A and B are shown apart, each in its own frame.
Chain A
């Protein structure tokens, strides 16, 4: 049965010439798992919101949406509330009440369920999602992953027929993200719930999906089974964001079936290539002078709380991109805050360019020295438009008017945010905010650049431009510290990687050593090519090795 049908859907935001959605027609069958992907700003969020009528943004809408063959905007409120569930990108924004149990019962209260029915359902779901241990907790105290799980559970209480999810895993570490997707798959399989999910991290999703919808500039350019989409979009730049197996297959003149999972990718490599275990890659190993020296750092947020960092040691040099990985709540952001002088370790010493961090007075640390892109890009903006924000920081850095204009123009070209300059920062899509915040941080022209998850919510193309920006900075002798959950990006860009675990930074290794020795905290390219090629941890490396190793 067809649960949802879009017919020539077109939408534009008020006062915006460009259409956010343009002439989209698609049908979704009941029980399907559909993945929606495309560049950031292509209209994924807008499309999902249009399908949930209570969330439909203001603007000019043409075309029609049919839910179970009836116009969506005319369905009963009660039906829409209970049958269409929505989980948004930002887990925090959706939580309504202050207690976990109340959040779970909220939707059922609204629909007028009896107390006994609510008790039973809430109990059942809390068990299913493993929420029982924090059932009576304050919603505020939950971790990001727990919040996202709570959102999903809260929506599931009224047994929706279709679930809409907007980048639900963008803030989760790779392992938590995989768990979350597994839960979704379980719901899809066991309850027959239809799922429509927008995402940039597709590695785990393609194998799970029944259908993939690809959008570009508000248009739907492909809508088919994952394999079919990979075949048809073979030469499209959009495929840069596809799973590694697909990209490898596409670049190596893939024949036959396109592999989607690590297992299939491995089979494909084994069948078509001669194993070669000699090392081709050599990465930089001599770095400049030490920029950041941390020794034996201990930190906790409050006296009565637990230690977050327990004796972290590290030395990071100029001309180096240093990448810190680690699970949710392992203390990565905390570590960056310490380096940026925003918090003080209660024990241990941090030296910035050979000078103790406490000796920098009156904001001297932030004058062309250290600059940080925080985890939430929205905290960077203070003005009414992106341009004003950028000019503001130029003023503080003491650039002249002319200089400022030049710098802003050059940066906005490099990050392709030119058309966003006159918009309100909060009107941008998640990925666009990320890029604009980065621009503001880069304008401070620091010697040490700290980036907290700069790639979340941005598309493969933007990652490429970020890559070139970072490489440029490194070559200028800057020190870049990168915190990320994006193992693919780390593997491609880092000079050294380190895992933050149990409050300590484990020994920093080159990405090749780091990712080839990990089994779970690693890239799929590495898992796929292990034992076939040596130290090929990125799709590009596998492709390069493959080119040289064709069978016959």
Chain B
């Protein structure tokens, strides 16, 4: 995951990133219009390919495609609304509308899943801690410590296990003795962690933690590019809200699927499309710039 740190989009300020992700995810979750969902899913997939490569995406597909069909085709089993009856199953109608709604649901589900993936890759723990640290400095410190402890304890766990194994006190054979041995080590780990991390607490007070007027330092600086990006995001997101409010982005599945025929809808599609494709565009632009710059050397 090392290369992720260096991609163009994640160099935005954490606030810009958070605004962007929250806006896109909320719109995806709350606007059931298939065009919007398709755009969102496309944006999410393209961005995640940029972030983690095609191999990872292919792997994801193998896992998600069956799920996609599962959600689509099971929806008619739960929901019998709709006017176009395809056939009857156990005396219950299976409707085209329910099937379409199932596909729409699956689109939303996977749109959110892919955006969450991108969020996970871009919003690294230090960025989240920065965001969290403004309103909740103490909590964010607790989180920061826990984040440090997780790999530390993992290492300690392995060390204790090694030490006990080499003394002949650990056996993994069998379910019960496995659990017994693991619990023994977990208990030793708990003791170790309490005793040693109190030192950390002491070391914190020793370095003045808890004094009044604490400041918080970070390596993140809000640049002009970030402000511009936030404004752009907000404007595009607002257009989607207007679209929802005016009904231009409404889409009704039941009883019969119908799209409000309104020319302005196209405009809203385009605007949301721009929003959803922003990260991908930014990444691509950066990649091209790099290639150009390198060719000049």
A: residues with CB less than 8 A from B are: 52, 54-55, 77-78, 81-82, 86, 88, 90, 92-99, 101-102, 105-115, 118-119, 122, 136, 138-140, 154-155, 158, 337, 340, 342, 362-363, 366-367, 370-372, 374, 376, 378-382, 392-393, 396-397, 426, 440-441, 444, 450
Min distance, Cβ A349 to any Cβ of chain B, angstroms: 20
Contact of A97 among B145, B192, B210 (CB under 8 A): B145
B: residues with CB less than 8 A from A are: 125-126, 141, 144-145, 147-148, 151-152, 155-156, 159-160, 162-169, 171, 173, 184-185, 187-188, 191-192, 195-197, 199-200, 202-217, 219
Q: A81-B208, A140-B151, A440-B167 are in contact. Are A118 and B162 (CB under 8 A)?
A: no
B212: chain A residues at CB < 8 Å are: 112
B173: chain A residues at CB < 8 Å are: 362
Min distance, Cβ B232 to any Cβ of chain A, angstroms: 27
Contact of A444 among B152, B168, B209, B213 (CB under 8 A): B168
A110: chain B residues at CB < 8 Å are: 207-211, 214
If A106-B204, A363-B168 are given as contacts, then 4 extra A-B residue pairs at C-beta distance below 8 Å, sorted by A number, are: A109-B216, A371-B167, A371-B168, A374-B159
Q: Are A96 and B203 in contact (CB under 8 A)?
A: yes
A78: chain B residues at CB < 8 Å are: 208, 211
Q: Are B200 and A378 in contact (CB under 8 A)?
A: no
Q: Are A380 and B163 in contact (CB under 8 A)?
A: yes
CA distance A378 to B189 in the complex (A): 10
Contact of A382 among B184, B203, B208, B209 (CB under 8 A): B184
Q: Nearest CB to that of A136 among chain B residues?
A: B219
Q: Nearest CB to that of A104 among chain B residues?
A: B217
CA distance A78 to B214 in the complex (A): 12
A441: chain B residues at CB < 8 Å are: 167
Most buried by A among B141, B208, B215: B208
CA distance A476 to B82 in the complex (A): 88
Q: Are B199 and A393 in contact (CB under 8 A)?
A: no
Min distance, Cβ B3 to any Cβ of chain A, angstroms: 13
Q: Are A94 and B216 in contact (CB under 8 A)?
A: no
Q: Nearest CB to that of B194 among chain A residues?
A: A426
B202: chain A residues at CB < 8 Å are: 54-55
Q: Are B207 and A154 in contact (CB under 8 A)?
A: yes
Min distance, Cβ B147 to any Cβ of chain A, angstroms: 5
Min distance, Cβ A90 to any Cβ of chain B, angstroms: 7
Q: Are A140 and B203 in contact (CB under 8 A)?
A: no
A380: chain B residues at CB < 8 Å are: 163-164, 167
B185: chain A residues at CB < 8 Å are: 382
CA distance A81 to B208 in the complex (A): 5
Q: Are B217 and A108 in contact (CB under 8 A)?
A: yes
CA distance A372 to B156 in the complex (A): 16
Min distance, Cβ A536 to any Cβ of chain B, angstroms: 37
A397: chain B residues at CB < 8 Å are: 168
CA distance A102 to B129 in the complex (A): 12
Q: A94-B200, A97-B145 are in contact. Are A363 and B171 (CB under 8 A)?
A: yes
Q: Are B196 and A90 in contact (CB under 8 A)?
A: yes
Q: Are B166 and A366 in contact (CB under 8 A)?
A: yes
Contact of A366 among B126, B165, B197 (CB under 8 A): B165
Min distance, Cβ B199 to any Cβ of chain A, angstroms: 4
Q: Are A374 and B166 in contact (CB under 8 A)?
A: yes
Q: Nearest CB to that of B143 among chain A residues?
A: A98
B168: chain A residues at CB < 8 Å are: 363, 366-367, 371, 396-397, 444
Q: Nearest CB to that of A339 among chain B residues?
A: B166
Min distance, Cβ A400 to any Cβ of chain B, angstroms: 18
B200: chain A residues at CB < 8 Å are: 93-96
Q: Are B217 and A81 in contact (CB under 8 A)?
A: no
CA distance A371 to B196 in the complex (A): 26
CA distance A81 to B152 in the complex (A): 27
Q: A78-B208, A154-B207 are in contact. Are A396 and B192 (CB under 8 A)?
A: no
Most buried by A among B141, B187, B206: B206
Q: A97-B144, A140-B152 are in contact. Are A342 and B165 (CB under 8 A)?
A: yes
Pull 29 A–B residue pairs with CB atoms less than 8 Å apart, ordered by A: A77-B211, A78-B208, A81-B206, A81-B208, A88-B199, A90-B199, A93-B196, A93-B197, A94-B200, A94-B203, A96-B204, A105-B217, A106-B207, A107-B208, A109-B214, A110-B210, A110-B214, A118-B215, A337-B162, A340-B162, A340-B166, A372-B163, A374-B162, A376-B159, A380-B167, A382-B169, A382-B185, A426-B192, A426-B195
